[in-house]
Amino acid sequence: TTISDCFLSASELNLSDRATELFTLFDLFIKHSKSEEKFDTFVFWGEMLLTDFNDVDKYIVDATQLYANIKGLKEIDSLFDVFSEKQKEAITYFWEHFLPNAPNKSREDFISIWKILLQIYQDFHSQLIKQNLATEGMIFRNVAEKLVNNEEIPFFNDKQFIFIGFNMLNPCEKILFDKLNKQNKADFYWDYESAELRDPENQASKFYESNTQQFKSKHVIDAEEFLMSEKEFEVIATPSTIGQTKEVYRILNEKMNQNNEIESNWLNTAVVLPNENLLIPLLYSLPENIDNVNITMGYPLKSTPIVSFVELLYELQKRINSEGLFYYKNVINILNHQYINTLHGKESQKIETEISKYNIIYVEKEKFQNNDLFQTIFVQCTSSTYFLDYLLDVIRKLNKVWFSFSEESENKKQFQIESQILFSYYAALNRLKDVSKVFNVDEKVSIDAIIRLIRQFTSTISIPFEGEPLSGLQIMGMLETRTLDFENLIICSFNEGVFPKKSNINTFIPMNLRRAFGMPVSDFHDAIAAYNFYRLVHRAKKIFLLYDTRNDGIKTGEISRYYHQLHYHYGAIFNHISLSNETSIELERKIEVQKTPEVMESMNAFLSDEKNAPALSASSINTYLNCPLQFYLSTIEKIKEIDEVTETIEASMFGDILHKTMELIYKPFEGKQIEKDDLEPFVKNPDIIDEAIEDAFANKFYKKALKSKVKLEGNNLLIARVIKNMLFKLSNKILLKLLFSTFNRKN
């Protein structure tokens, strides 16, 4: 069992979920701060507060002393007896630094928040305990305090405990280890076999002395020494992040498969991903001969395609017009999303083609009636409450269709991972909905605020992939390698700042105070990362280290510090490989049309005097003068540009509509001589012209048949009025000419 599950089993409190914790904390923050901050902007700060409270509990810190009010500085002096000289110095420095002698806004804001943290912390604990709930830190502290007070905990009765592979221990864990050890119920086995893990100059040994001295093993296990100089190290520099996954393919397919060195089940090989975002690209880059793949790592939900899909659904709802029609760009974006394109590519392409062909700006929902998934997506949300239900319905239907698709696919595993991603996102939204109902969030929040809340809430969630560790190639994060050993290691993203990660701690508790109260600081995280690395490479035989050489913004392209330590301190020998992207410039290719007899026959047809011979328009002559090749392709070969939806009416389209309107008006007079009386109906009855303009719009702009009903609004309505005015002026000029010609004939 894990240490967290051990504490949870020993406590009568139930573990609360993150959503409940955040909403509870938000209500208390608003109550004590009298702030008008919205929940979606509070989430980031709420996560920081929860992390701080968790550390306060796990490290058994006296919250009253930690969150002491600045006004009561003299009271702190009386508490100094319990601190060491270094702790006193750190605490004094902190309060002197934040004393409001030279006020500024950031300092005042910090002080105002600091004053209420103790009350929020105490009320937060009370609120959760009333519901028989607790954070992980509260559970750890609850069990530890019971052990200190010698209270009976039934879970520990009649059991023996063996603790394996631990390194950094918090005070709660130390209390548990100590109590069980004194009761002769515990045995401890530490993995400090590697000489590097016992080297005082190496951060990895930070907890070695204290752990092995305080908690000794009952049985001695003989250590095996593996010198770094005897291992096969290969350092591969790649000018790309994704390029590393392609190099993993080469390593697995070529280097590690020579002479049948690797067993068919790949069990002794692990690909370690410090950068979780490489998981999906890696899965699409594995050799075909690897049948079983075991993924044991967390993958950030915010990096999955479902996040972008939900954003598209939100944009779709934002741009629905007053008649409940969907804006074409949002529709096309959804139809082109990888989920929809994979599941219903032909249907989505058909709808997209129809939208472009008929220049549909706003799409009716009837276009989607033939597809069950599309019917669920293309509906209008009327409220923030319904928006969450809408998202849940869409994801539930999408997951159902996706799962069916994956069952029929040849590459089941990759599609099943996507299905697990969809389920995780659905579960997160469902929990958010349940908790928001309890806290009446739907009554206060708009759809815009709901989507911000969803973004914040899901940004901190990781999908815990858990597989079968006894079969297949192992793909895992660095933390998941603890207590595991492999003969062959491929470590990606071996860059400084990624491996190990920069140990920035988001906290309201300044570092000197954290250090003074014995809470974890950056040194702790660096020591843990170093321990995990040196422990992992100790028993490996072949180790491939891949890193990105690019300098991009804050990325320096620098290899990890561990490389230099291995080389200069421990005598490791490296085989260096530097990859580069091969680029080639394609020479410009000229497009030429040979003047064959067939081509010349088509060209000469424009010079013919025959009745049905093709005519040259003014625009086609201009095209020929500008570019004969363009004239040939467009006029002779009839190659048309790809249909695209046009929202604005450009000059060429304006001319087409005007000419079409005039054609429709004068069509009845074809072959006749126009008299004055023939034009008077157009002047007296403008509806005739309005109908002609609408028909011209339908035919030219919306590409529909004549007499099709179209509604002109917005900019198109203004353009229709401009065309109408031009037609009136044109008709009046013609009418005047007719009047003058009639007058001249009479005289």
For the stretch 156-175, pLDDT in tens is 999 999 999 999 999 999 99
- DSSP E strands: which ranges in 212-268? 232-238
How many Å apart are CA 708 and CA 355, to the nearest integer? 16
Percent of the chain at pLDDT above 90?
Answer: 41
Contacts of 721 by beta carbon, 8 Å cutoff, 6+ apart: none
The structure tokens listed for 472 are: 């297949």
The amino acid occupying position 254 is E
Supply the pLDDT for residue 9: 96
| Comparison of pLDDT for 45 and 742, the residue scoring more | 45
Please report which confidence band the pLDDT of residue 133 belongs to, taking 50, 70 and 90 as the band edges: very high
Q: Is 142 left (phi over 0), alpha (psi -120 to 50) or beta?
A: alpha
Its pTM stands at: 0.77
- Cα angle 638, 642, 647 (rounded to 5 degrees) comes to 125
How many Å apart are CA 305 and CA 338, to the nearest integer? 8
Supply the pLDDT for residue 120: 94
pLDDT in tens, 489-506: 999 999 998 999 887 778
The structure tokens listed for 691 are: 């109908």
Mean per-residue pLDDT of the chain = 84
Supply the pLDDT for residue 731: 64
Supply the pLDDT for residue 419: 85
SS3 74: helix
Supply the pLDDT for residue 373: 94
| Comparison of pLDDT for 63 and 640, the residue scoring more | 63
Say yes or no to pLDDT of 439 above 90.
Answer: no
Please report which confidence band the pLDDT of residue 109 belongs to, taking 50, 70 and 90 as the band edges: low
With b for 16 or more beta-carbon neighbours within 10 A and e for fewer, the 525-564 pattern comes to: bbbbbbbbbbbbbbbbebbbbbbbbeeeeeeeeebbebbe
pLDDT in tens, 328-376: 999 999 999 999 999 999 999 999 988 888 888 889 999 999 899 999 9
The structure tokens listed for 434 are: 């349940």
Q: Please give the span between the terminal C-alpha atoms of the chain, in angstroms, as a whole number.
A: 115
Say yes or no to pLDDT of 176 above 70.
Answer: yes
Supply the pLDDT for residue 73: 41
How many Å apart are CA 745 and CA 667, to the nearest integer? 27
At 296, give phi and psi (nearest 5°): -135, 90
Tell me the CA distances in angstroms from 16 to 23, 57, 132, 296, one per residue in order.
Answer: 12, 15, 9, 24
Say yes or no to pLDDT of 19 above 80.
Answer: yes
CB neighbourhood size of 279 (10 A) = 24
User: Stretch 603-624: mean pLDDT, rounded?
Assistant: 82
SS3 227: coil
Supply the pLDDT for residue 70: 44
Supply the pLDDT for residue 185: 95
With b for 16 or more beta-carbon neighbours within 10 A and e for fewer, the 577-595 pattern comes to: eebeeeeeeeeeeeeeeee
- 564 closest CA partner among 541, 533, 539, 540: 533
How many Å apart are CA 742 and CA 675, to the nearest integer? 9
User: Stretch 660-686: mean pLDDT, rounded?
Assistant: 75
Please report which confidence band the pLDDT of residue 106 belongs to, taking 50, 70 and 90 as the band edges: low
Please report which confidence band the pLDDT of residue 599 belongs to, taking 50, 70 and 90 as the band edges: confident
SS3 326: strand
Q: Is 144 left (phi over 0), alpha (psi -120 to 50) or beta?
A: alpha
Q: Which of 56-65, 249-258, 356-365 has the highest mean pLDDT?
A: 56-65
User: Stretch 715-722: mean pLDDT, rounded?
Assistant: 84
User: Stretch 648-654: mean pLDDT, rounded?
Assistant: 79
The structure tokens listed for 591 are: 């497009």
Say yes or no to pLDDT of 678 above 80.
Answer: no
Contacts of 205 by beta carbon, 8 Å cutoff, 6+ apart: 192, 196, 197, 198, 199, 531
How many Å apart are CA 249 and CA 253, to the nearest integer? 6
